[in-house]
């Protein structure tokens, strides 16, 4: 059975993932839990390219799932903008003791990003959402390995080897309000690929394209039948 992993963030956040080694490249669903997060700052949970310490992890395999439909990522926020109400999930806890538990699909690659390619490193990550731009204070990384591909996706900065935290940080214990454990294999979701290396869930339309070189993310509108909302742009370092 694949082992889990854990990591400690720059402000003492604890992040764990139920499976982080030997995953099926075609896709598996893992449980991600966290504790010690600042509830004033929303975060994304996703599987992304690790660009190194101090830099935003991007692009992300499967894109940033603002609708909560594809399972590629999860938005956690206790005080989202008005257009995010009903899309973002609130933290448990308050202040700097925020907790969460969520499940995301982890695949080795999509149409634009291949985490098994030479020189590419990927990890299950948390990072501040688009409302915080380049703020890396809640960026935490847990590297993942894929079984048949035999490629280890490493991390840097506030990251950890599978089952342990990075050398620069203390080994973390399981945090969050949920229970981690063996996760089910996940079938690939139907995604609409984009030229930036991200993807949007089917049924959503692009509301803005942010510069990939700056480590930014796509922001997606809700379904056309839902309420309109403004574009949200983030500049990340």
**CATH number of the CATH domain containing 52:** 2.60.40.230
Listed residue (226, 214, 235, 234) closest to 84, CA to CA: 226
* Burial (Cβ within 10 Å: 0-12, 13-18, ≥19) of residue 156: middle
Range of the domain at 145: 1-237
Tally of domains in the chain: 1
- In this structure, the strands spanning 14-17 and 28-37 are antiparallel
Contact present, 199 and 113 (Cβ < 8 Å): no
Residue-by-residue pLDDT tens, the chain, 237 positions: 557 899 999 999 999 999 999 999 999 999 999 999 999 999 999 999 999 999 999 999 987 666 667 799 999 999 999 999 999 999 999 999 999 999 999 999 999 999 999 999 999 999 999 999 899 999 999 999 898 644 444 444 444 444 333 333 333 333 333 333 333 333 333 222 323 333 333 333 233 333 333 333 433 333 333 444 444 343 333
Q: Say what the pTM is.
A: 0.65
């Amino acid at each position: 059975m694949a082992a889990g992993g854990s990591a400690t963030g720059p402000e003492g956040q604890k992040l764990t993932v139920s499976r982080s080694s030997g995953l099926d490249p075609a896709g598996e669903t893992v449980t991600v839990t966290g504790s010690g997060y600042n509830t004033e700052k929303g975060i994304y949970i996703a599987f992304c390219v690790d660009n190194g310490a101090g830099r935003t992890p991007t692009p992300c395999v499967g894109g940033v799932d603002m609708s909560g439909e594809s399972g590629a990522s999860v938005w956690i926020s206790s005080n989202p903008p008005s257009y995010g109400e009903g899309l973002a999930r609130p933290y448990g806890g308050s202040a700097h003791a925020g907790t969460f538990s969520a499940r995301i699909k982890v695949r080795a690659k999509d149409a634009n990003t291949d985490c098994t390619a030479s020189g590419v490193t990927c990890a299950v990550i948390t990072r501040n959402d688009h409302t915080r731009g380049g703020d890396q204070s809640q960026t935490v990384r847990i590297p993942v390995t894929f079984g048949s591909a035999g490629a280890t996706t490493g991390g840097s900065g506030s990251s950890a080897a599978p089952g342990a935290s990075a050398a620069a940080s203390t080994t973390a214990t399981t945090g969050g309000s949920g229970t981690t454990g063996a996760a089910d294999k996940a079938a690939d979701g139907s995604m609409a690929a984009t030229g930036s290396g991200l993807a949007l869930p089917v049924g959503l339309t692009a509301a803005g394209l942010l510069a990939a070189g700056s480590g930014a993310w796509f922001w997606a509108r809700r379904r056309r039948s839902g309420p309109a909302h403004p574009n949200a742009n983030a500049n990340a370092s």
